Amino acid sequence: MPERQQEEGQVGKQLELTLGEYQVRGASITHGPRGSTFGFTLGPVSAETLAALDGAVRDRRTLRLLFPEPLLLDLVELERKEPQRVRIVGRIVDPVRRVLK
């Protein structure tokens, strides 16, 4: 299923992923010099979704993960694990602070 791209006011253009449509493994939250980061392995993903993720990383767009409440990630990094599986790690964005900057 192609992922949606949307405009969200001052937060900017985002790529939106509904995680309920995938297998999510190895999720972790850490805190370091970049702030709090969330990482997880996602699969199976289509070639179209991988291309959308690559484009979002290249264009430095925010990744909006849809749980019951959305989680925004920026400074996203991708690591391909298998042909249809990818590890995603990004800094957790506080949407209030980001809009106020």
The better pLDDT of the pair 37, 101 is held by 37
Domain-wise residue ranges, the chain: 4-95
Note the Cα 23 to chain centre separation in Å. Answer: 15
Q: What is the pLDDT of residue 94?
A: 77
Mean pLDDT, the chain, whole residue set: 84
Q: What is the pLDDT of residue 10?
A: 35
Note the Cα 69 to chain centre separation in Å. Answer: 14
Whole-structure pTM value: 0.80
Whether the CB-CB separation of 78 and 57 falls below 8 Å is answered with yes
The confidence band for 13, taking pLDDT boundaries of 50, 70 and 90, is confident
Residue 50 scores a pLDDT above 60: yes
Q: What is the pLDDT of residue 6?
A: 46
SS3 state at 60: coil
Those residues with Cβ within 8 angstroms of residue 57's Cβ, 6 or more apart along the chain or in another chain: 76, 77, 78
Q: What are the Cα distances from residue 27, in Å, to 13, 16, 94?
A: 25, 18, 19
